[in-house]
Structures are given as C-alpha cells and as structure tokens.
Amino acid sequence: MSRSELAGRVAVVTGGAGGIGLSICGRLAGAGANVVVGYNSSQEAAQALAHSLPDVPGGHCAMRAPVTDTAGLRALASAVEQRFGACDLLVNCAGTTRFVPHADLDALDDALIDQILATNVRGPFAAIRALLPLLRKSPAALVVNISSIAAVTANGSNVMYCASKAAVDNMTKSLARALAPVVRVISVAPGLVDTDFVRGLDDHWRAEQVERTPLRALALPDQVAGAVIAAATQLTFTTGAVLPVDGGRPLS
C-alpha cells in the first residue's frame, strides 16, 4: 500500500483505541491520512495511539467521540473542523455487547438492550449526522460502518447484538441512497475477530470457532482494516454494500 493513497485526507475513527479500531487507525495513517482517534472513556490509550501513528503532514490527534451523546458529537465535528478543516472518511467502529445466551430472555434486560441499541445503532447514525456537513465538502466522502456477520447469521454474543448489526446494515443501504452521490456509505462485516478480548476467552471455544470457519482461522483486525482501506481506495464505485471479512463462516 502506498503512503500517498490517502494523503491529504482526514479520517475520523470512533472507537479508535479498541482492538479493531487500533488496526484501522494504523492502516489509515500508513496510507497517508490524518487520523482522528475517537474515544469515549479511553483517553490515554487514544492519545498514545495517535502519538504512535506514522508521521504525516498535519499529524494525528485523539478527540472525544461519545457516540451516545449528540452534543458531544457536535463538539467533535467542530473540533475536527478547527483542527483539519475537513472530514473525508468516517469509520464508525465504536460498539458494545455482552455475552448472553440467546434462550435466556430474562438475562437480556432492558438496560443492556438500550445500551446496545444506543451505541451500535443510534451511535453510527448520530456520528454521521454530526459530521455530514464536513463530509459533504469532501470530493471523496466515505462512511464505513463496522458491522458483523451476526447481522446475517443471527448468531452472536446475544440476540440484541445480532439485531443491532442487522439494523446497521439496513441503515447503511438507506443512507447510501439518501446521501448519494456526494457521500458513499459501506458496511464492513467481520466474522469473529481475533482481538485481545477474544484471545482471553476459553481456548476450547475459540478452537471450535476456527473449525467452523471454512478458511480455518479467525479474522484478524488488520484484515478488517484492509477492507476499510479497499473501500476508500479501490472500491470507489461501490456504495450501499456490505463487505464480509469472515473466512466464509456463514457457509458452515
């Protein structure tokens, strides 16, 4: 990948200090973009990541991006405009979930449902809404929503998480139509991603997940990041699409 592919472009990544977000930020900076590492509570990790990214003219920074707080997102948009004057790429990577057996409806309480929907569904929409004036000024505006194959398989950490990712993919298509031709909107849908969190789970369970994947491996954060880069640099006539990064898991 050329260091100049995204030179001069400004990318905002919500949840940028997380396991997947970290790789996305690194690949974007490696392609020459100015990266805003968005965070909610992980300020120190986000700042450390911003300082560690490859140098580009104009640099990188960490900014608070509380996706469940509309006023906070408006403040983020204002700060991005003041610092960089533009936003060309928004990656909605912030998300939340908790493991709840699908048959245990009582364990999926209202508070958890509201948290998942507010973060995973309303959050991306609110971030797009807040940054849309800047995106509309870009000659190559792109929004990438990080989804999940749980949207299709209905098999994931809990019932509401699966529903939230199905909503994200539907929203991607609706907004791709509504914001065309100025802003492209794409979902990237990983399978189970081999983050530090997943590596800390039961080894037997992880081995079962690998066996259930036709390519006999879990998705790597860098492979998810590669799909984001492809959407920005190669798939320039694509919008409203869901790009799987899943090793063929839905086939099993």
Residue 207 lies in a domain: no
Higher pLDDT, 199 or 53: 53
Residue 89 lies in a domain: yes
What DSSP string describes 170-219?
HHHHHHHHHHTTTEEEEEEEESSB--HHHHTS-HHHHHHHHHTSTTSSPB
Residue 92 lies in a domain: yes
Q: What is the pLDDT of residue 148?
A: 97
Mean pLDDT, rounded, for 108-137:
98
For the segment 143-190, what is each residue's pLDDT rounded down to a tens digit? 999 999 999 999 999 999 999 999 999 999 999 999 999 999 999 999
Q: Which domain holds residue 22?
A: 10-194+221-242
Rounded-to-integer distance, Cα 194 and Cα 54, Å: 24
Higher pLDDT, 3 or 10: 10
**Total of domains in the chain:** 1
Query: Using 50, 70 and 90 to split pLDDT, how confident is the model at 33?
Result: very high
CATH for 25: 3.40.50.720
Residue 59 lies in a domain: yes
Q: What is the pLDDT of residue 198?
A: 79
Distance of CA 6 to the CA centre of its chain: 18
For the segment 79-91, what is each residue's pLDDT rounded down to a tens digit? 999 999 999 999 9
Query: Residues of the chain with pLDDT > 90: what percent?
Result: 89
Tokens of 237: 């006539």
Residue 252 pLDDT greater than 90, yes or no: no
Evaluate whether 201 touches 246 at the Cβ level (below 8 Å). no
Q: What is the pLDDT of residue 197?
A: 75
Q: How many alpha carbons fall within 13 Å on the CB side of residue 210?
A: 13
Find the catalytic residue in 151, 161, 165, 224. Answer: 161
- Residue holding tokens 């997943």? 198
Q: What is the pLDDT of residue 68?
A: 98
Cβ count within 10 A of residue 79: 15
Which string of b and e fits 159-197 if b means at least 16 CB within 10 Å? bbbbbbbbbbbebbbebbeebeeebbbbbbbbbbbbbee
Residue 2 pLDDT greater than 60, yes or no: no
Rounded-to-integer distance, Cα 220 and Cα 212, Å: 16
Query: Using 50, 70 and 90 to split pLDDT, how confident is the model at 195?
Result: confident
Residue 248 lies in a domain: no
Q: Show the DSSP H helices in the chain as ranges.
A: 19-30, 43-52, 70-84, 110-117, 123-135, 150-153, 159-179, 196-199, 203-211, 221-233
Mean pLDDT, rounded, for 107-129:
98
For the segment 47-72, what is each residue's pLDDT rounded down to a tens digit? 999 999 999 999 999 999 999 999 99
Mean pLDDT, the chain, as a whole number?
A: 95
Residue 237 lies in a domain: yes
Residue 42 lies in a domain: yes
Query: Using 50, 70 and 90 to split pLDDT, how confident is the model at 3?
Result: low
Is 39 known to be catalytic? no
52: three-class secondary structure by DSSP = helix
Mean pLDDT, rounded, for 119-138:
98
Query: Using 50, 70 and 90 to split pLDDT, how confident is the model at 199?
Result: confident
Rounded-to-integer distance, Cα 111 and Cα 119, Å: 12
Evaluate whether 214 touches 251 at the Cβ level (below 8 Å). yes
Residue 213 lies in a domain: no
